[in-house]
C-alpha cells in the first residue's frame, strides 16, 4: 500500500479541479437522509485534508486518518491557516486503524479504498469500520471500477505542464490481476532549476458485487450504490461508485 511522499507537495496543485465541494454536498445529503446531521465522523484516507475541512464546515466533528506523513503535514498546515483546530489528524494505515471510541459515520472518498489491492484487506478494513461505528452508524465510500481501469484509463500516458510544476503519468493495467499501476514523474521548480522525482502507485479495480460481498463479510448491511457521476443508478460503464452501508452489530 503505497503512501504519498514527494507527490504530496504538489498534490493539491494537480487536484485543483477535483469537485470536492460537490462530493461534500452529496455526502452530507446522504448522511442527513440517514439522520446524521451532526456528530463525530471519520475521514478514512483523508490526504491533505481538503474534504475533511469541508465536512467540518458542514457541521461535523472530524477525525482524519492517513498513512502518509507528508500528506498529513500539509493537512495540518491547512488546519493552522483555517483555524480548524478541532480536527484530529492521525497517522494510521486504514488496514489497522484504531480510534478512542465510536463515530456516527465513516467516509472515504477519492478512491482511497482502491489502494487495498487484496480483497482480504478490504474485508478486514471494513470489519474495523464496523467495529468503530455507532449502532446503526453509516459507512460511505467510493471506489474506481474495473471498467474504469480497463476501458477508460488502460495503458495510457497523461501529462500536464504548469509554470511551477509538471508531471507525466504512465498508466498500466493488468487485466488478469485487476491491478492498476501508475508511474508518476514529477518536476517541481526550485529557484531556477527543476527537481525531478518519481513515485509508483498500485490500485485494484473492484466490481459492485465484490464490494457488496466485502460489506456483507464485514458484518454490515448494504444500503445503496450510486453512480459517481450522475448519482443515479449504477450501470455497466460506471467509472466511480458510491457505496453506503450500515452497522448492524459487532
Domains of the chain: 8-144+206-247 (3.40.50.150), 148-204 (2.20.25.110)
Look at residue 2 in the predicted model and tell me its pLDDT. 56
Cα gap 72→49, rounded to integer Å: 7
Block means of pLDDT (10 residues each) for the chain, 250 residues, are 70 86 97 97 97 97 96 94 90 97 97 96 98 98 97 92 88 94 90 86 96 98 97 97 94
Name the grid cell of 214: 466485502
Cα gap 62→28, rounded to integer Å: 13
Cα gap 89→70, rounded to integer Å: 12
Look at residue 84 in the predicted model and tell me its pLDDT. 80
pTM for the whole structure = 0.93
Q: Are 133 and 244 in contact (CB under 8 A)?
A: no
pLDDT digit string (tens) for 90-110?
Answer: 999 999 999 999 999 999 999
Cα gap 114→59, rounded to integer Å: 28
User: CB-side exposure of 121: number of CA atoms within 13 Å?
Assistant: 16
Look at residue 53 in the predicted model and tell me its pLDDT. 96
Amino acid at each position: 500500500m503505497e503512501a504519498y511522499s514527494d507527490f504530496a507537495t504538489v498534490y493539491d496543485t494537480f487536484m485543483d479541479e477535483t469537485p470536492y465541494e460537490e462530493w461534500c454536498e452529496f455526502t452530507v445529503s446522504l448522511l442527513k437522509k440517514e439522520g446524521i446531521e451532526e456528530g463525530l465522523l471519520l475521514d478514512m484516507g483523508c490526504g491533505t485534508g481538503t474534504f475533511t475541512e469541508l465536512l467540518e464546515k458542514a457541521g461535523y466533528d472530524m477525525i482524519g486518518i492517513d498513512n502518509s506523513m507528508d500528506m498529513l503535514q500539509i493537512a495540518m498546515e491547512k488546519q493552522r491557516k483555517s483555524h480548524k483546530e478541532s480536527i484530529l489528524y492521525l497517522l494510521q494505515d486504514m488496514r489497522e486503524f484504531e480510534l478512542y471510541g465510536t463515530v456516527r459515520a465513516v467516509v472515504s472518498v477519492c478512491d482511497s479504498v482502491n489502494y487495498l489491492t487484496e480483497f482480504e484487506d478490504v474485508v478486514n478494513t471494513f470489519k474495523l469500520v464496523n467495529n468503530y461505528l455507532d449502532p446503526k452508524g453509516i459507512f460511505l465510500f467510493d471506489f474506481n471500477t474495473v471498467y474504469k481501469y480497463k476501458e477508460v484509463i488502460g495503458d495510457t500516458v497523461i501529462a500536464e505542464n504548469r509554470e511551477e510544476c509538471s508531471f507525466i503519468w504512465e498508466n498500466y493495467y493488468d487485466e488478469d490481476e485487476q491491478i492498476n499501476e501508475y508511474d508518476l514523474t514529477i518536476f517541481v521548480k526550485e529557484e531556477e532549476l527543476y527537481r525531478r522525482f518519481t513515485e509508483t502507485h498500485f490500485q485494484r479495480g473492484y466490481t459492485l458485487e465484490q464490494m457488496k460481498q466485502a460489506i456483507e463479510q464485514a458484518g454490515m448491511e448494504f444500503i445503496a450504490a450510486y453512480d459517481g457521476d450522475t448519482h443515479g443508478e449504477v450501470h455497466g460503464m460506471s467509472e466511480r461508485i458510491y457505496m453506503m452501508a450500515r452497522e448492524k452489530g459487532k
